[in-house]
Amino acid sequence: MKTLNCELHHQIHSESLTEPDRFWANAAQELDWDRNWDKVLDDSKAPIYSWFAGAELNTCYNAVDRHVENGRGEQVAIQYVSPVTESEYGITYNELLAQVSRLAGYMDSVGVKKGDRVIIYMPMVPETAYAMLACARIGAIHSVVFGGFAASELATRIDDAKPKLILSASCGIEPSGVVPYKPLLDDAIGQSKHQVDTCIILNRSQYTADLVTGRDVDWQSAVASAPNIACQTVAATDPLYVLYTSGTTGQPKGVVRDNGGHAVALSWSMKHIYDIAAGDVFWAASDVGWVVGHSYIVYGPLLVGATTVLFEGKPIGTPDPGIFWRIIEKYQVKSFFTAPTAIRAIKRDDPDGDFLKDVDLSCLKTLFLAGERCDPDTLHWSEERLNKPVIDHWWQTETGWPVAANLMGTAPVEVKAGSPALPVPGYQVEVVDEMGDVVEPGASGNVVIKLPLPPGTLTTLWNNEQRYLDSYLSMYPGYYLTGDAGYMDEDGYLYIMSRIDDIINVAGHRLSTGRFEEVLCQHEAVAEVAVIGVDDKLKGQLPLGLVVLKKGVTLSDEELYRELIALVREHIGPVASFRLVSAVQKLPKTRSGKILRGTMRKIADNQEYKMPATIEDPQTLELVRNALTRMGYADAHV
């Protein structure tokens, strides 16, 4: 890639911070508004800020209807590719409008109104996008729950969001086979205190679910007779969706996204970061259950009138590691977005890039990677094999769109391996020490963002503004705490190295070790437990549990481990990828009783560590080291 300097990037970035009103008002011109804003940035309730106060619009109108009105009706809006079901078809903007307005019509007819919550627990099928857009159309607030979560995780979200309606499907299809969703849904509804009136169920041919009389409705029959419904105008500041993400406790955080700021930020990012305009083809190979899916499978590409690829499959095994490349070629994808773990999986199965040999990827301009730290090996392997710019960029569920990135649409800069490049316009990113003082370039610290956050970022946590203030805004007043640690170099490039809390990142999926610990403690044999994230070549990190047993446990180790693994799968879900567990006699703790998880993590990953001065019993570290070595970690790496 041609090396370019950072001047233009810095200039745009600086304009966004010195004149945010002008900057974002300008960006907002890309959308259709029903009423103009009174204020671009409303800081009257700081540190809670809102964008485009007084304005009104409809996100679904901007993502669907207006493209039909502007002559894009025959263009494919969603290109569905499902190697696992051997099905592949395009949905035009005309068809999308018809599907979404009828589904919205049905939802309205069963009493779902503006502001009501709707849970969507679905696999990667076009109907999932219809469901999200139908909610947006009538001003209902959707909350998509990732299909790899267990029934109890779904139940927690049902009780927090209190949905009027749930949309689900009979099953998802994983490489391991058909995963029935409906029994999980029924189980979750059984577990939750909140009662749901109506469930719309998409019965797929791979697994037919029984419908509960009086509650469940078959998707096709619901939509068949439903009236089309027009878009309902909402306030720019009204919530569009709630997306739950892992916090440090078992109770997930419901990140609230607004309508106006979200639409503005996403359409800005499509052009400036991803270099995508109307008519282009964009593909984010993620899942709609994650923020990447919300922003860049559904809303971002559709808001700008692009074609989005919705892929039901995996980078490998569905059927082979060439699937990504063949889809890019077949559908002429211009920008492609996936997680480093997906590239590592391809690299493992096709190290020499043999599957790239017979495809013509001249359509592809850029590969974007995010979701976890992009290790330099993965970056270089992809650069060399694809011969395209490979762009790491960093963001989180909370921010909804990139915080640090290379602006490939307007001001590309030099790629530095290990760095997601520079802070994106709108974000004033700083690296600070414990006292909140900015550290020298190259020195590590907590990565924070000066308030206000730009449009499109979280506005609060659902039902819990205090938790929002406590978790993100209190540690450094005037700043948003990202929870990530890292450093900035002399050129202002950011390097995100680790989390400062108990969150781990498994195959690009964000999970809370606190939640693992809560679940493992439920086992009657367990007295105490610590879960840490250990390095993994494929998935980045894996959860590893160390348990201290109660006296008199008669189970064999093998039986115990099997039960603990099953317990996590039952309560968190298969996405937890929990397979590493061992019993230890005692956990290392400080004299005040704090478990030394950080030190254990370093031992597991064979990194240097200092004996903590406050350790209660140094011997415990040896016990842990022995257990980890037996599991193939710690000294076993040497």
Provide the binding-site residues for ligand COA, judged by CB under 6 A. 123, 147-148, 172, 174, 176, 179, 286-287, 290, 292, 314-316, 339, 341-342, 345, 370-371, 507-509, 538, 574-575, 577
Least distance to ligand COA from the beta carbon of 436, Å? 31
d(C-alpha 414, C-alpha 379), whole Å: 14
Q: Give whichever of 20 and 508 is closer to ligand COA, judged by the CB atom.
A: 508
Least distance to ligand COA from the beta carbon of 511, Å? 10
Binding mask 406-445 for ligand AMP (x = CB under 6 A): --------------x-------------------------
Q: Give whichever of 341 and 396 is closer to ligand AMP, judged by the CB atom.
A: 396
Least distance to ligand AMP from the beta carbon of 499, Å? 5
Least distance to ligand AMP from the beta carbon of 161, Å? 18
DSSP structural state of residue 352: T
Q: Give whichever of 371 and 545 is closer to ligand COA, judged by the CB atom.
A: 371
Decide if residue 254 touches ligand AMP (CB under 6 A). no
User: Residue 92 in 3-state DSSP?
Assistant: strand
Are 255 and 156 a contacting pair, CB within 8 Å? no
Decide if residue 291 touches ligand AMP (CB under 6 A). yes
Kindly list the distances between the CA atom of residue 34 and the CA atoms of 116, 235, 362, in Å, as whole numbers in the listed order: 21, 9, 40
Are 351 and 298 a contacting pair, CB within 8 Å? no
The rounded radius of gyration (Å) of the Cα atoms in the chain is 24
Neighbours of 413 (CB within 10 A): 23
For tokens 């980890």, what's the residue? 628
Decide if residue 372 touches ligand AMP (CB under 6 A). yes
Task: Enumerate the β-bridge partners of residue 526.
Answer: 549
Binding residue (CB under 6 A) for ligand AMP from 108, 392, 517, 536: 392
Residue 56 contact partner, candidates ligand COA, ligand AMP, none, CB within 5 to 8 A by sort of partner:
none
Interacting positions 163-182 with ligand AMP (CB under 6 A):
none
Decide if residue 505 touches ligand AMP (CB under 6 A). yes
DSSP structural state of residue 637: G
**For ligand AMP, how many residues bind (rule: CB under 6 A)?**
20
Minimal CA–CA distance to 408: which of 419, 424, 395, 428?
Answer: 424
Interacting positions 223-252 with ligand AMP (CB under 6 A):
245
Task: Enumerate the β-bridge partners of residue 244.
Answer: 254
Residue 394 contact partner, candidates ligand COA, ligand AMP, none, CB within 5 to 8 A by sort of partner:
ligand AMP
| Contacting residues for 138 by C-beta, under 8 A, at least 6 apart | 104, 107, 108, 112, 113, 114, 229, 232
Interacting positions 257-286 with ligand AMP (CB under 6 A):
none
d(C-alpha 163, C-alpha 115), whole Å: 10
Least distance to ligand COA from the beta carbon of 164, Å? 24
Minimal CA–CA distance to 318: which of 82, 128, 126?
Answer: 82
Which span sits near ligand AMP by CB under 6 A: 113-121, 200-208, 262-270, 366-374? 366-374
Q: Name the phi and psi angles at 488, rounded to 5.
A: -120, 140
Binding residue (CB under 6 A) for ligand AMP from 241, 394, 401, 487: 394
Decide if residue 397 touches ligand AMP (CB under 6 A). yes
User: Residue 486 in 3-state DSSP?
Assistant: strand
The string of DSSP letters for 446-469 reads EEEEESSPPTTS--EETT-HHHHI
Least distance to ligand AMP from the beta carbon of 486, Å? 8
Residue 245 contact partner, candidates ligand COA, ligand AMP, none, CB within 5 to 8 A by sort of partner:
ligand AMP
Kindly list the distances between the CA atom of residue 278 and the CA atoms of 79, 281, 306, in Å, as whole numbers in the listed order: 15, 9, 5
Which residues contribute to the site for ligand AMP (CB under 6 A)? 245, 291, 370-374, 392-394, 396-397, 420, 482-484, 496, 499, 505, 510
